[in-house]
């Protein structure tokens, strides 16, 4: 597999291109998209929830701890939740008030989960 440099030229994969747990990633990913099985959260009939596994894999593949993850159409907040749980900062925008409020509640639960994990690590 090849990768592009900033100037557009090609280079081959190096060991620093590896994603932990996955190795080299190709353009085909297998993800559970079974609706209610994609999250533990109650999304109150949200029309298009992104599978948490997909958000987590994308965040791990294209960012590092401490990076900022942007989701300009945040919807139910899956990307923000997974960014938090993967030690990234996040910024999301949502124009629909109901979805925004739902995602805030979801992020509050995720923050408590994240804090419990930190407490166990530090104990």
Residues 30-86: pLDDT tens digits?
Answer: 776 665 555 666 666 677 778 888 899 899 988 999 999 999 999 889 999 999 999
User: What's the whole-model pTM score?
Assistant: 0.70
The answer to whether 29 and 54 are in contact (CB under 8 A) is yes
pLDDT at residue number 88:
95
What is the second-level CATH architecture of the domain 51-123? Answer: 3-Layer(aba) Sandwich (3.40)
H/E element, 71: strand 68-71
* 57 token code pair: 């894999």
């Amino acid at each position: 597999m090849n990768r592009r440099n900033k100037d557009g030229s090609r280079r081959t994969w190096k060991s620093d291109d590896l994603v932990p747990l996955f190795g080299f990633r190709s353009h085909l990913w297998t993800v559970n998209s079974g609706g209610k099985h994609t999250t533990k959260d109650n999304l109150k009939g949200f029309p298009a929830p992104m599978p948490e596994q997909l958000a987590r894999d994308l965040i791990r593949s294209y960012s590092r701890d401490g990076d900022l993850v942007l989701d300009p159409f945040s919807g139910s907040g899956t990307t923000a939740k997974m960014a938090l749980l993967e030690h990234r900062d996040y910024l999301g925008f949502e124009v629909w008030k109901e979805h925004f409020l739902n995602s805030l509640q979801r992020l509050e639960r995720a923050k408590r989960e994240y804090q419990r994990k930190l407490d166990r690590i530090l104990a």
